Chain A
Amino acid sequence: MKKLVAFLESRAGASTFWRAFADEPVPRRHAWLFALGSAVLFALVVQVITGLALALAYAPTPDHAWESVKAIQTKLPAGAVVRGLHHWGSSAIVVLAALHLARTFLFGSYRKPRELNWLVGVALLLLILAFGFTGYLLPWDQKAYWATVVGTKVPSAIPVVGTAASRVMAGGGAVGAATLTRFYAVHVILLPILTLGLVALHLLLLRKHGHAGPTDGPDPREPFFPYQAARDAVVGLAVVLLLFALAAGSPAPLERVADPSDTSYVPRPEWYFLPLFQLLKFFKGPLEPVGTAVLPGVSMLLLALVPWLDRGASRRPRDRKRVLVAGGLVGAGILALLVFGALDAPKVKPKSGLGSGDVPDPRLLGGLAAYERRGCASCHGSETSPPPALPGAAALPPLASRPIAWSAEAAVAHVSEKSPKPAAGGADGAGGEDPDKDIPSLLGYVAALKDGGSFAKLPEPIRVGGAAIDREDCRQCHQIYGDGGRRGPALQHLLGKRDEPWLVEHFKDPKKLVPGSKMPKYAYLSDAELAAMAEYLLALP
């Protein structure tokens, strides 16, 4: 051991380096506040580790990005944890960096000769925000897509250079494949390189000039190791435990896959961009660049110039009252904008793309109803009960895990042969036409089960209503999820425009409410079924 230490010392100067590192005198007073910078560093390390893991599975193309994130979240071992840590880590870094900045500002630690390190810190703050902005797009869900549509368009209101800046950001005129590859490259290559360099410079400059407490004279000091090192370790542990708790308690969200044709989506930025978002609402028309560029630009410039604006000799807060009040007002203003932005949230909760919160396609619900009606469960079991043992034979494997892939013809023949036909013109209104009309829906339902779909937890009205909509073939004339005929209006965004009584009334006698409507009357369906259909339609995004 001693030999190894001697070898490393003579070849690499390791011991000399360690002594210089460990014996650095650091202030004893406010020592916990000085650990805030370390907290940012630890959160950054968490982002590097989890980001690297995510990059192993993520695919940066519009056709696969959402799918790969969904697979990370639902299929990969520890995927939800890794993504949860990365998601919450991004917010934690912003909070911790803001606290670290507030501490530095309060203590006047940016005073001569530490001006350059303040500048490096401001640059790092901008890099953190750039990480957040570019990372937000990558899951390619509705939130990601629409927030980036707005985010990349914001600069275009700036005179002269605006449109060009917007095009370079988006990689063209619209958010698409080029935007995704651009944001991905910036997020995982350019920003990490810059951040690594600036963090190294930040630490080097810190060590060159030492810590600066809120005092003028010499303050009591102690060596970094073991005192501050122990505090840093506690802070690091707290950061990691907090992130684990957040990741476990509130998983990273994933909404439905980005859909440029969905015009009902109200984009929301990540919370730390809410102040900017809110400014956008105050400055309209020709004044817009004031909110999007001038105010944020001037604020950042002022922040960078703080060491030159506050040049007194004393670092004590009581000698810097004017500066502290000014800084406090700006900070309070940013917080107020943040709160107003948060209160301005849309009332409709966005739909999750992860299953239970989603409204499935009516075809799948029709398939589920057919599955129940045809008694498939008596051999194959259902989502909630495993397949029962059959007389004289072992139980079949559950359909969801069945590896056999049948051709469509074989599957149709199997269903038609094995299950009793629904009674023609039966009470459920299945109609007397083709008794096997429901088989395509049934097969679609089984395929969705194999894909990990889950329907057991859906509210009763959604299941009943969706099945009825499939059975009555509303898609002959109406589009649902962009699929169907165009004789009638597309069935979407109904929430807020129509309510349940209106819809039920309209099902019974369309002409009464919409003069000239060619829609047939559905008064022969039960009131309960009509109400369920209305509820289903209102739940559609």
Chain B
Amino acid sequence: MPTRRTFTLTALAAGAAAFASVAGAALTFALSPLVKRRAEAGASLDLGAANDFDSVVSGAAGAVEVVVERKIEDGTMTRRVRERLAVVKDPSSPSGLAAVSTTCTHLGCGVAWNAEKKAFLCPCHGGVYGADGRVLAGPPPRPLAKAPLAIAGGRVTVDPAAFEA
């Protein structure tokens, strides 16, 4: 027979454990964004017709910015979002072209191509990137995200997984 003392202590401990598990369940839920979700493969993103980027291929333009709309898994919902990518020359890509993210790697502001300075400039804290996405100046810790472009049937496409945050 348990004594009154052990019974009371056991009951208190069990009650505390019960509430701790409720908090644990809620906390698991709240901390779930720590686990990165894998981007769905296969859904390639259409950036436009191949001749839209003739000026990049010919070297007349260092980068051509395009706004693309795509579906993303965002929290509990699927949403369409608009994003801006820049198409640049890239000898290491089979197609000779690559897409560069316009999200600054420092604090997430949007960078824009400056044709005169031939660089991507960040308006927030002065980050400067070259056409290949490399950091030239300022606080950014990493180069801009970049992915090779595929050209098939006259259309230019990219795998959006490279730009998942």
Residues of B within 8 A of A171 (CB): 33, 75
**Which of B14-22, B61-69, B89-97 touches A?**
B61-69
Tell me whether B67 and A176 are in contact (CB under 8 A): no
Contacts of B31 in A (CB 8 A): 168
Which of A277-285, A302-310, A403-411 binds B? A277-285
Collect the chain B residues with CB atoms within 8 Å of residue A346's CB: 123
Question: Is B67 a contact of A479 with CB atoms below 8 Å?
Answer: yes
Q: Flag whether A384 is at the interface (Cβ < 8 A).
A: no
The interface size bin for chain A is 35 or more
Contacts of A266 in B (CB 8 A): 109, 123-124
Q: Which residues of B contact A177 (CB under 8 A)?
A: 74-77, 79
Contact residues in A for B141 (Cβ distance below 8 Å): 157
Which one of A311-319, A465-473, A484-492, A529-537 is at the interface?
A: A484-492
Partner of B67, one of A178, A280, A482: A482
A111 to chain B, nearest CB (A): 37
> At the interface, yes or no: B125 with Cβ under 8 Å from chain A?
yes
Interchain Cβ contacts within 8 Å, total number:
112
Q: For the complex, is B24 an interface residue (Cβ under 8 Å from A)?
A: no
Contacting residues, chain B, for A261 (C-beta < 8 A): 67, 82-84, 110
User: Complex: how many Å from CA A486 to CA B47?
Assistant: 10
Say whether B82 contacts A149, CB under 8 Å: no
The closest CB in chain B to the CB of A152 belongs to: B108
B33 and A62: CB pair below 8 A? no
Most buried by A among B30, B37, B55, B74: B74
Q: Is B81 in the interface zone, CB < 8 Å from A?
A: yes
| Interface SS, A side | loop
State A493–B106 Cα separation when bound (angstroms).
22
B5 shortest CB reach to chain A, Å = 33
Q: Is B40 an interface residue (CB 8 A)?
A: no
Complex contact B74–A62 (CB within 8 A): yes
Residues of B within 8 A of A175 (CB): 108
Contact of A149 among B34, B109, B112 (CB under 8 A): B109
- How many Å lie between the Cα of A177 and that of B102 in the bound state? 21
Question: A195 an interface residue at 8 Å Cβ cutoff?
Answer: no
Instruction: Tell me, yes or no, whether A288 is within 8 Å of chain B by CB.
Output: yes
Task: Give the residue among A172, A267, A516 with the most B Cβ atoms within 10 A.
Answer: A172
- A262: nearest residue on chain B (CB-CB)? B110
Chain B residues with Cβ below 8 Å from A250 are: none
* Min C-beta distance of A180 to chain B, whole Å: 8
A281 & B125 in contact (Cβ 8 Å cutoff): yes
Contact residue among A153, A179, A260 (Cβ-Cβ distance under 8 Å from B82): A260
Asked whether any CB of chain A lies closer than 8 Å to the CB of B147, the reply is no
Is there an interface contact between A176 and B107, defined as CB atoms closer than 8 Å? no
A352 in the interface (beta carbon within 8 A): no
Contact A264 B84 (CB under 8 A): no
Other CB < 8 Å A-B pairs besides A153-B107, A262-B110, A516-B55, 6 of them?
A63-B79, A172-B33, A178-B33, A260-B110, A263-B84, A265-B123
